[in-house]
Every structure is written in structure tokens, then in C-alpha cells.
Chains A and B, each alone.
Chain A
Amino acid sequence: MIHVRTTTAAALALALVLPLGGCQRALPPAAAIYARGADSKSLDPQAVDDGESAKVIENIFDTLVAFAPGSLEILPALAERWEMRPDGLLWTFHLRKGVGFHDGTPFDADAVVFTFRRFLDEAGPSLPPDVPYGPYYRGPIASVEAKDAATVVFTLKHTYAPFLPNLCMFAAGIVSPAAVKAGGGKAFGKNPVGTGAFRFQEWNPGEKKITLVRNEEYWRGPAALARVVFMTIPDNNARLSAFRAGSCNWMDSPNFEDLEACRKDPKVRLWSAPGLNVGYLALNTLRKPFDDARVRRAVALAVDRKKLVEALYFGAGKPAVHPMAPGILGYDDSVKVPAPDRARAKALLAEAGFPDGFDTELYAMPNPRPYYPQPQKIAQVLKSDLEAVGIRATINPVGEWAAYLDAVQNAKHPMCMLGWTTDNGDPDNFLTTFFSAECAQPGPGALGVSFWVDPRMQDLLRRGEREVDAGRRAAIYREALALVREEVPLVPIAHAEQFVLSTRGFEGFTVQPTGDLFLHPVRPVATE
């Protein structure tokens, strides 16, 4: 009896001690193990619109042109140089020579045409099941042709200022025609073949793990990392724990509350950049009393953005004054964050017929978003600000994200919180999404949840989309922003920074303002 007991005790003790030694196991060098919040949906560039798919796709595929690291400047990539005809309707791209796909086939103009036909065609065996970014390309592009093996010509339906930035998006990644034809358009997402810095090795859907290996023949020169593994840890805290335990050496989307600890931790490297996003409070102009501009102005005057951001963004946010991120063309620097003016707000409300305020509802999303790290708490602060001027709002925390989007897209809210992160760094990407007539109709797919359609704005949007001169374009958008400040269909609240964490042993990384992830420049370095 006694022997059994001591042996069991010893075994238990051993079992407790062993793991402590096991945790600190060193990972193989030259591999990046990147933990993110959800698995990719597909690795086919034309088939998806979600960030988790984009992250991986960007390292397997290249685009014709690309944003410079850390900025919105457009540089050559698969295209060495390009020309635009003066009328803006014809674009000619001269392709880089000597580039090959991961399957050995050569990259040429036919590949580019093949890729863009996947946007333009309605049906065909090479198409993926769904093309969410279709409208971005199908809308302006009339046709795409190969003039010769190294030259591609795009003909546009009208001048389109965002054309080049759209070509930088991951959705425009050039695919290998041979691979798509061999496996079919629908299966390509599980077996991607591109020209990028890493080739696809394996996707384990059960473990939600994707493995990429270095492309030794990469045209920019082979990467320093031999292997990249993408793994999925949905819970932010669990992800940070795994990172601290050494289970992964890269991760993104940390909780803002943990940033301070990460900054102080010598083993952690915090990479950050301002995010090209905006979180705002949308006022449903289809509902009383928010159809009255005075009421909307009162709301804008009641909210104290500075204090909110200081308290709830842990130093990683900026109060917002425009529904567009700073640094984007047309952003008006001269406008400062207004201080709240509660007296004037009350006066406006009284003028509009609400001397005692009114009751209403505020819809707040249940889960963190890049622009709203703690939406429910932010909602509480907004509620408190509104109460100070007599607007009594109850917070409606619709149970889950898909249901939330459904509710606000169908105009069920008097006020709601929402936001946007740009896909291509273009001002049109923000303002069209919020204010164009197509996007501001209630119904599934609605993106402008103020449902405010003003002919002056429509005109400005159309002109801005087609104006190719940067200076004139900026002026158009400044006018649009002024209109928003006057009519207040929404109240911009904050812009949030983006963060990526890595262990100390890496250099050369830059956080892209658009949220793209490029691991090619990353170099493992020696640490003590």
C-alpha cells in the first residue's frame, strides 16, 4: 500500500515538473510561426475578401504593382513600368522578364490576362466559387489583352483614379494558368500556385495550420526565412499565452490592454503602424429624430472623442475628425478634433423640438474590431456622453457579429457603431462605401449604414472617382469631408493602430498601413 502511494506521488510530481522543462523548448531557426485569430477561407486571391486569407495569399502571390513598405507609394512589382494614355482610358504594363511560377511555368502576359478574366468572366471552369472583389475590377475595366509576351493592355470604361491602387490589392495576385486549368477554378484555393516569396506546401484544416516554404527562385531574391507556418488561435489571450510560451514567434491582434506589458517585455518586439481605419457612430437618417440635421449635429457636439480614446485605446488610438484615415489623399489636416460643447448641443436639441432630450437605442457590436478594441465599453462611454445632453440611449448588444451586421444593414438601428478598414488606401474606398447611392440602401450588403444619400455628395464622389489629377482630386474630397461635417450623417470616433508582435530574433519587418502582411523582408538575427 505504502509503496503504491509513494510511487504514485512520485509519478505525479514528475508529471508536474517535466512540463516546466518542456515549455522552454527552442524552435527551429529560420522559421516564422505566425499565430492569428482565424483560419484562412481560401488561398485563391480572386476568391476571398477576408484578412486572414489575404495574409497568406500575399506571401504566395505577387501583384503587378505594390505599395512601398510602410507607405502608400506605388512601386513596380511584377510590372517593371507602366504608362497611362493621357485620356486615362488605356493602361499599358511592361512585365518583368525571367519570372516563373512555383510550378515551373513562366510568368507572362497570358497569365495576367488569365487572372483578370477571372474577374471579368461571368462563368467558366477557371472561376472560383465566389469573386467578392469582382465589382472593384469588373466595374471600371472594359477589357484586358496581351499585346505580346511581356506587355499587357487594360482598357477602362471611364477614367478611374483608384485603378492603380486596386492593382496592389491581394485580390489582384497573379495566378498560374496551368495550375488553375489542371485542378479547376474551385480547387485552386486549396492548392495555390503563384510567383511569390513562398510556395505553398501544406494546409491542415483540422489543425488550421498552413505551411509555406521558401521559393528559392524568387525574383526579388530568396527570403531569409526558410519556412513560414500560419496557425490559428482564436482567443486573444490564449494567443498571447502561446506566444509567451514560445509556441509561436509571431502574432497579431493583441489585446490593447496587453500592449503596455509587451512594450516593457525585453523578449518581445512590438511592430506597429497607424491603421488606415476609422470607427464611427452612424446615425440612421431614415429614422426620426435623426432625419433632422440639428439633432445629428447635437450628437457630434456631445461626444468627447479625446477622453474616450485616451481611456479606452491604451495609447494606440487617435480621435477621429473625418470618416477617412489620416494620410489618405484628400484628408484635411486643418480640421482639429472639436471639443465637446454640451450647451450648444442642448440648444440645438431644443431648437429641433426636444428640450428634454429623447429616448433612443445604440447598437454596439459584440466582438472587438480593428477600429474598436472594446466596443461594448466604448458604447457605455458614448451613452454617458449622450446622457449629458439629454439623449437617453439603451445599448443593444446584438448577440453576434453576423446578426449585428444583418440588423444594421437592414436599418434596424437608430444609432449604431461601425467602422471600416481600407482595402487599397484610396479615399474613394472610404467615402463611396459610406455615402454612395448603391451602398447606402437598406438591405443585405449595405455598407453605408446612415442611409444618407445627398445629391451633392453623389456628384463629388463621381467626380473624385474619375479625376486623375492628384491635386484636383484632393480638393474634391476635402469638399466632401466638409459636407460630412455640416450634415453629420455619422460621427467619426477614432482611428486605431495596428500591431504585430514578434520575438526579439527578427528584423526587417514593416507593418503595412493597409494591413497586408509581407514576410519576405524578414531576417532572423542572432540574440543572446
Chain B
Amino acid sequence: MFRYVLRRVLFFVPVWLGVATAVFLLVRLSGDPAVAIKGDKAPPEEIEKFRRQEGLDRSLPVQYASFLADTVRGDLGWSYRTDRPVARDLADSFPATVELTLLAMTLAVACGVALGTVAAVRRNGPADAASMVVALIGVSVPLFWLALLAMKGLGEGAGWFPVGSRLSAGTEFRPLTGIYTLDALLRGDLDAFSDAVGHLVLPACVLATVPAAIVTRMTRSSLIETLGKDFVRTARAKGLTERAVVIRHALRNSLVPIVTVVGIHFGLLLGGAVLTETVFGWPGLGKYTVDSVLRRDFHAVQGALLLMATTFVCVNLVVDVLYGFLDPRIREGYEEGR
């Protein structure tokens, strides 16, 4: 087991290096950052001064080395758009995305498992067909359109939910972890908690739609397969109620592929978060990335892309380890084949 984990962790390093290189090259490819930042009113001397300041006049390999060294030390540069260190911007926006994606994932899994179970149990019936149609639509509908409709219809239009920020403006709230709902609970501030939840509901529900659809389909197929297995027939023969059979036995064994699906589609969730946050104005990592890219704020783009990719790779690592833990066959297969 330990060897498995170790190999997975070691594998992480070259991938991360590759990611960092890719980010570095991508940003340099977008044209001269000096002109992008200073371009609007700067005389040539200003641009030169900027280049020297930022070390853009050094050779590419030297810039790369210092970029890596700085990043590892935690110095991610300065954001010209927000006028703050990028590291601070990321520290502020990252928990917002974590909060949103965690809630969305929870909703997606809860809904998806429930719907998928119903579909599997009442296979080929109307409930099954309905669930599958809904799931199919869920993966076909453009997320930003759903977000737009929800925002305009339910948020701004009907005014049922506050949108556009994480808390109502004018609230005096000092965050702890950055996850406002959690912080509010930790401080016993129920007003702030309900306010934070209110702002969170709509974006989280919208973000949850695609993963919910995927989890539904996954649960259905996985459960159908499990329900056909011998041990289930045995359980039924023993006289257990259908509900006990399905939930206590079949579902539990179907969880493994569901866990994998969650891990694999985490990237989808992050991508979805980018669009959802932009439409709702949710100040998370996704919105920060888009805003920085559109404004060519190159330090911020580097930092945001790096953080996003690193998070994704870490989540995959965790899922792989979890998977190996849950299913010993994977561990062995991995050590042999790869």
C-alpha cells in the first residue's frame, strides 16, 4: 500500500513541473507582458524600466528558473489589475471556489445517487426513462446559459435569491478560513450564515447540474450491474427487504465507480466553476482566472492557472489513493502493469 502511495506521489512531481512549464510558456506566448500592462500611456522608457523590474529582459531559461524558484517560495508576483500580491488574491478567491464546488459536489452526489438508484430499481419503467432524459439534458445544456437564466430569472428578476457576491454588502464579517458558511457557524453568527447560504444556493445548484447528471447515469449503470450479482440474490433469498438490499448492500458496493467519477469529473467541475462564477459574479478562483486572462495580468494568470492545475492534480492523487485503498485489485494491477 505504502509503495503504491509513494509511487503516485512521486509521479506528481514531474507532472507538476510540466504544468508549471506549460503555464510559463503559455503566458510568454501571449505577447510582451510589458506592453500589455504599461501599454496605454507609457513612453518607451517606462516600458524598458518595467521590463528590467520584472526581469523580462533576461534570457528565457533564466526567467524560467527564477519563476520556479519564486513559486516554490510562495512569491507569485504582483497583480496589476487588483494592485495586490497575487498570492493574496489567490488566498482570498480560492476558498470561495472550494466552498462553491464542495456544496455543488455534495448536491450533485446526493441528487445523482438518489435519482440513479430510483432509475436502477425501477428499471425500464417511466421513472427510469424520466431520470435518464433529465440526466441526458443535464449534460447537453450549456452551463453558462443555465447560470444566466437562473441569475436573471430567479436572482435579479424574481429576487428570490441574492446574487452577485458572497455576502450582502454592508455586513461586518471577518472570515476565518475563507469559507464563509463554515466561518459563520464557527462564530455562531446565524445571520451571516443564512446570508452566506442564501448567496451560495443558486450558483451551487447551477454548478451541480452537470455532475448530478453524470452521477445519475453512473449510479444507474453501476447499480444495475451490482444488482445482477450473486450476493444480491443471496441477500434477497435471505428475506431482506428490497430497500435494505438496495441501500445497504448493492449501493455500498457500487460506490467505487462513483468515487472515481467524482474524481475524474472534478476537472469538469472546476471548468464549470469558471463559467458559473463569471456569470454570478462569484469572487472565486474561476472568475479571477478569467478576469486576469482577459486583462493580460500575466502574474495573476500564471498564479491562477498554476493553482487550478495543482488543485486538480492533487485531487486526482487523492482519488487514486482512495481508489487503491477501496479496491485492492487496483493497487496490484497498478504495480504490475504501469
Contact = CB atoms under 8 A, between A and B. Distances in A.
- Answer yes or no: are A and B bound together in one complex: yes
Interface of A: 1, 15-16, 18-23, 25, 27, 33, 35, 41, 205-206, 229, 231, 233-235, 237-242, 244-248, 399-403, 405-406, 409, 443-445
B197 A235 contact: no
In the A-B complex, the 10 residue pairs with the smallest Cβ-Cβ separation, listed nearest first, are A19-B198, A238-B164, A247-B169, A406-B39, A18-B194, A238-B281, A247-B168, A405-B40, A402-B40, A245-B162
A206 B173 CA distance: 12
Contacts of A239: 164
Interface string B156-200: 100111111100111000000000000000000001001101110
Given A248-B169, A444-B41, A19 B201 contact: yes
Contacts of B280: 238
B125 interface: no
B42 interface: yes
A22 B195 contact: yes
Nearest to A405: B40
A25 B84 contact: no
Contacts of B160: 20
6 contacts: A15-B194, A15-B201, A19-B198, A35-B169, A241-B156, A247-B169
A461 B52 CA distance: 40
Contacts of B267: none
A36 B280 CA distance: 17
Nearest to B196: A19
A18 B181 CA distance: 13
Interface of B: 35-37, 39-43, 46, 83-84, 88, 92, 151, 155-156, 159-165, 168-170, 191, 194-195, 197-199, 201, 247, 280-281, 294-296
A1 B247 CA distance: 10
A406 B201 CA distance: 42
A247 B201 contact: no
A247 B170 contact: yes
B201 A244 contact: no
A443 B46 CA distance: 13
B159 A235 contact: no
Contacts of A238: 163-165, 280-281
A405 B35 CA distance: 12
B156 A244 contact: yes
B26 to A, nearest CB: 16
Contacts of B156: 237, 240-241, 244
A439 to B, nearest CB: 13
A403 B198 contact: no
Given A15-B197, A403-B39, A405-B40, A248 B163 contact: no
Contacts of B162: 19, 23, 241-242, 245, 247
B170 A244 contact: no
A299 B146 CA distance: 42
A246 B170 CA distance: 9
Contacts of A21: 194
Given A18-B194, A248-B170, A400-B294, A444 B43 contact: yes
A443 B169 CA distance: 42
A248 B159 CA distance: 15
B50 to A, nearest CB: 13
Contacts of B83: 41, 205
B201 A237 contact: no
Contact of A235 (B36, B39, B195, B281): B281
B265 to A, nearest CB: 23
Contacts of A245: 159, 162, 168
A229 B161 CA distance: 24
Nearest to B294: A400
Contact of B170 (A33, A41, A241, A406): A33
B198 A399 contact: no
A400 B195 contact: no
A245 B83 CA distance: 29
A51 B88 CA distance: 26
B154 to A, nearest CB: 11
B296 A400 contact: yes
Nearest to B281: A238
B169 A231 contact: yes
A1 B241 CA distance: 14
Given A23-B162, A238-B165, A205 B40 contact: no
Nearest to B191: A22
Given A237-B281, A240-B156, A241-B163, A444 B40 contact: yes
A445 B281 CA distance: 33
A240 B155 CA distance: 11
Contacts of B151: 237
Contact of A18 (B92, B197, B247, B294): B197
B168 A242 contact: yes
Contacts of A402: 36-37, 39-40, 295
Contacts of A35: 169
Q: Which of A21, A41, A247 is the most central at the interface, judged by chain B CB atoms within 10 Å of its CB?
A: A247
Given A19-B162, A238-B281, A241-B156, A403 B170 contact: no
A20 B197 CA distance: 10
A400 B99 CA distance: 30
A229 B35 CA distance: 36
Nearest to A249: B170
Contacts of B201: 15-16, 19
B23 to A, nearest CB: 20
Contacts of B194: 15, 18-19, 21-22
